[in-house]
């Protein structure tokens, strides 16, 4: 799987602007929205990630430093995301411990990224919550009437019917 492409797709679907950094030594996807800025680094192995994550972060911050300083409040929300497809079980904890380093940027680090779902899971802290409501074939008017037991039947009928909002308000005002 091409992690960089999947990252770009997921971030764009979440409303971020994305662009690749062409001058980087390894693939880097830059991203930004109105609230935050970040960099996604894709490493060939967990060992490579562990050896090079700090240098990669420093290179990106050096390259984009002036833009970050001009970003105002967004400069406090800079993320570095370090990913690899490598399933390094013995190094998994070491990779995740990178997140405990609070210097320079906020960090997310994961090994074993192999599916689009893995990418989405890693990027959850940056993306909006997406709920998939379950809609049944239930009559919504009946459900609304059942939930609004304290509202009189004539008010509900007016509200659910073709009565203008002003008339419904008048009916509500007349009720004790």
For residue 60, is it within any domain? Answer: yes
The verdict on 9 and 88 lying in the same domain is: yes
Q: Among the listed ranges 42-46, 53-57, 64-68, which one has the minimum average pLDDT value?
A: 64-68
What is the predicted pLDDT for the residue at 175? Answer: 63
Sheet holding 37-43, edge to edge: 17-20, 28-32, 37-43, 78-84, 106-110
The verdict on 52 and 104 lying in the same domain is: yes
113-159 tens-digit pLDDT = 999 999 999 999 988 766 566 666 667 677 777 777 777 777 778 77
- In the DSSP assignment, the letter for residue 76 is G
For residue 47, is it within any domain? Answer: yes
The verdict on 104 and 159 lying in the same domain is: no
The verdict on 8 and 47 lying in the same domain is: yes
Average pLDDT, the chain: 86
The verdict on 118 and 147 lying in the same domain is: no
Q: Structurally, how many domains does the chain consist of?
A: 2
The verdict on 31 and 100 lying in the same domain is: yes
| Structural domain boundaries enclosing 67 | 3-126
Distance of CA 44 to the CA centre of its chain: 24
């Amino acid at each position: 799987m091409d992690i960089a492409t999947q990252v770009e797709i997921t971030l764009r679907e979440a409303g971020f602007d994305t662009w690749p950094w062409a001058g980087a030594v390894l693939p880097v996807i830059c991203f930004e929205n109105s609230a935050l800025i970040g960099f996604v680094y894709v490493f060939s192995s967990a060992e490579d990630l562990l050896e090079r994550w700090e240098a990669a972060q420093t290179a990106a911050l050096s390259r984009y430093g002036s833009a970050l300083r001009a970003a105002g409040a967004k400069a406090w929300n800079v993320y570095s995301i370090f990913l690899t497809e490598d399933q390094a079980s013995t190094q998994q904890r070491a990779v995740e411990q990178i997140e405990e380093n609070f210097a320079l940027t906020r960090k997310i680090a994961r090994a074993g990224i192999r599916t689009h779902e893995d990418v989405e899971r890693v990027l959850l802290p940056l993306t909006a919550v997406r709920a998939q409501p379950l809609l049944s074939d239930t009559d919504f008017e009946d459900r609304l009437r059942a939930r609004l037991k304290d509202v009189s039947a004539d008010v509900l009928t007016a509200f659910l019917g073709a009565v203008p909002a002003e008339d419904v308000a008048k009916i509500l005002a007349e009720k004790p």
